[in-house]
């Protein structure tokens, strides 16, 4: 897949996320009507300062931002943990995927363990 195609796919994902955000009253209350004029980084920064930082849309925005950064650095498609190539099927399913299947499984196992310890 070419960089141009990946960037286009990520941009489409960003547009869809912005539509979802624009349809939710709790986001509109914090962002106001100028959401469309904010850069992705500004949008994330503003939401990080709010009670919406735990919202699934906020997590998706962060993953999208990470994918754009990786693309700009020439690291898109490499696992953030082991740096091997992420399986093409995983990236086709979710272009913001950050981990290969092996590392994702390990991460989920560790994350579940952390959640059990914190309660």
Q: What is the pLDDT of residues 43-56, one digit of tens each?
A: 999 889 888 888 99
Q: Is the pLDDT of residue 119 over 60?
A: no
CA distances from 71 to 21, 26, 60, 96, 106 (A): 24, 31, 16, 10, 24
Q: Is the pLDDT of residue 1 over 80?
A: no
Q: Is the pLDDT of residue 116 over 70?
A: no
Min mean pLDDT across 34-38, 77-81, 101-105 is at 34-38
Domains (range + CATH), the chain = 3-118 (1.20.120.910)
CB 44 within 8 A of CB 65: yes
Look at the block and give the residue holding tokens 């299947």.
Answer: 101
Q: b/e string for 17-28 if b means 16 or more Cβ within 10 A?
A: bbeebeeeeebe
Q: What is the pLDDT of residues 53-93, one digit of tens each?
A: 889 999 999 999 999 999 999 999 999 999 999 999 999 99
> How far is Cα 58 from Cα 21, in angstroms, rounded to an integer?
9
């Amino acid at each position: 897949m070419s960089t141009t195609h990946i960037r286009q796919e990520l941009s489409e994902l960003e547009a869809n996320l912005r539509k979802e955000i624009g349809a939710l009253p709790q986001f509109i209350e914090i962002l106001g009507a100028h959401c469309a004029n904010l850069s992705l980084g500004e949008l994330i920064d503003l939401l990080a300062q709010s009670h919406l930082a735990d919202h699934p849309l906020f997590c998706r925005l962060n993953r999208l931002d990470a994918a754009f950064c990786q693309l700009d650095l020439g690291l898109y498609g490499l696992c953030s943990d082991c740096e091997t190539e992420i399986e093409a099927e995983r990236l086709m399913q979710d272009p913001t995927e950050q981990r290969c299947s092996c590392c994702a499984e390990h991460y989920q196992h560790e994350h579940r363990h952390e959640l059990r310890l914190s309660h």
